[in-house]
Amino acid sequence: MKVHVLYASSTGNTELVAKAVYKAIPDASKDIQRLALFKEDPEAETYFIGFWTNRGSASYELLDILSDLHGKNIALFGTCGMGGSPEYYKEIENQVSAFIPDDNVYLGAFMCQGKMPMRVREKYLAMETDENHAQIQKMLRNFDEALLHPNDGDLKNAMDFVDSVFKKL
């Protein structure tokens, strides 16, 4: 079986997870490629597609490629700065997986938190007022926690996800 890992990474978080996913793929014919270099491989039967979260979804370019795949096994993985909420991760998964055509087999998704650029923290600080102080402090705590991700535990969980996908195949 030929397996293709395709990913888009803005800050390097998703690239780290993509490399862990690639490493966890059992001995098979496999390839890993950034989205910007993507050329569909008609021989690939299974795709692991990684993305960074963009306003609760993936980039338009990734969604376009995802919607053009047909007759494949597809598993998603992604990173998101706003972590710690399985419900939010599920919403993101639902937004992105909705672009997978029905003639594919959807195999699930893995999401983890990822660090955000420092300009995001600076934006939060600039937005703070007396009225939104508590909310901004919560966002700053999340930002600071995200600096530690993806960590070794996240990468192990991504590899475990790959194992679970191959058990379904």
- List the chain domain ranges: 2-114+149-168, 116-148
Q: Single out the residue of 99, 47, 107, 93 nearest to residue 72, CA to CA.
A: 47
Question: Is 3.40.50.300 the CATH number for 2-114+149-168?
Answer: no
pLDDT for 38 equals 87
Beta 29-34 vs 73-80: how paired, if at all?
unpaired
At 7, which amino acid appears?
Answer: Y
The pLDDT tens digits of the residues spanning 16-57 come to: 999 999 999 997 799 999 998 888 778 899 999 999 998 899
**pTM of the entire predicted model:** 0.93
For the record, the structure tokens of 142 come out as: 């999340």
CA 35 to CA 115: how far, in whole Å? 20
114 and 151 Cβ atoms separated by less than 8 Å: no
Residues 6+ apart with CB under 8 A from 6: 32, 33, 34, 35, 38, 47, 48, 49, 50, 65
Spell out the residues 6+ positions from residue 28 whose beta carbon is closer than 8 angstroms to its own: 1, 2, 3
Please report, as a single letter, which amino acid is at residue 110: F
For residues 9-22, average pLDDT: 96
Phi–psi pair at 44, nearest 5 degrees: -70, 130
> Edge-to-edge strands of the sheet including 29-34?
29-34, 2-7, 46-52, 73-80, 105-113
pLDDT in tens, 88-138: 999 999 999 999 999 999 999 999 999 999 999 999 999 999 999 999 999
Q: Report the 10 Å Cβ neighbour count for 62.
A: 24
